[in-house]
Amino acid sequence: MNGSKILKLFDANIGDAVRITHLDINGVMRRRLLDLGFVPGAIVKVLRKSPLGDPIAFRVSQTTIALRKEESTKIEGELVSYE
């Protein structure tokens, strides 16, 4: 896919599949996100959003994980598919 759309996980819509390219976080929080499966190259899918968009539930590496806004705004990726 050429010129694919880059977006933050926080801005993705329900049904979007996003390939993670970059985490704009360091330290313990970065470590935690990596351990949860939010690693560059991984494809995550947006499952559900709370009314105010915080938290958001993602499907990542065969498990459902919810992230808070402060985390999902710091993860970037390219849109691979949407529903």
Helices (H), 1-83: 27-35, 69-72
Q: Which stretch binds other proteins (CB under 8 A): 12-20, 46-54, 59-67, 73-81?
A: 59-67
User: What residues between 29 and 48 interact with other proteins by CB under 8 A?
Assistant: 31-32, 35-37
Least CB distance from residue 32 to other proteins, whole Å? 4
Buried residues in 15-43 as b, exposed as e (16+ CB within 10 A):
ebbbbbeebebeeeeeeebeeebbeeeee
Which of 46, 65 has the CB closer to other proteins?
65
